[in-house]
């Protein structure tokens, strides 16, 4: 889960129960800065990096490597 670090609408603590219910491999990454729609830097760049890392792991069939 990628969560904006400065989201005043949905704080990380509010999203945590949903994250905790997910079974299997998972990772919670709180983005630096970033409002509810995290287009601000550096949050936007962090999203791009995390998505690229995830897709590479899927391509390798190694989701544990996405952590």
The dihedrals phi and psi of 2, each to the nearest 5 degrees, come to -105, 125
Q: What is the mean pLDDT of each run of 10 residues along the chain (67 residues)?
A: 95 96 93 93 96 91 68
pTM above 0.85, yes or no: no
The dihedrals phi and psi of 4, each to the nearest 5 degrees, come to -60, 135
Which pLDDT score, from 0 to 100, does residue 13 have? 96
Chain Cα centroid distance, residue 41: 15
Burial bucket for residue 48 (CB in 10 Å: 0-12, 13-18, 19+): exposed
Task: Map out the domains of the chain as residue ranges.
Answer: 2-66
Which pLDDT score, from 0 to 100, does residue 44 have? 96
User: In angstroms, rounded to a whole number, what is the distance separating the alpha carbons of residues 67 and 56?
Assistant: 12
């Amino acid at each position: 889960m990628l969560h904006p670090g400065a989201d005043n609408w949905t704080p990380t603590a509010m999203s945590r129960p949903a994250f905790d219910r997910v079974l299997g491999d998972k990772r919670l990454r709180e983005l630096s800065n970033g409002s509810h729609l995290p287009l601000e830097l550096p949050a936007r760049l962090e999203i791009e990096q995390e998505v690229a890392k995830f897709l590479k792991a899927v391509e390798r069939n190694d989701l544990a490597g996405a952590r």
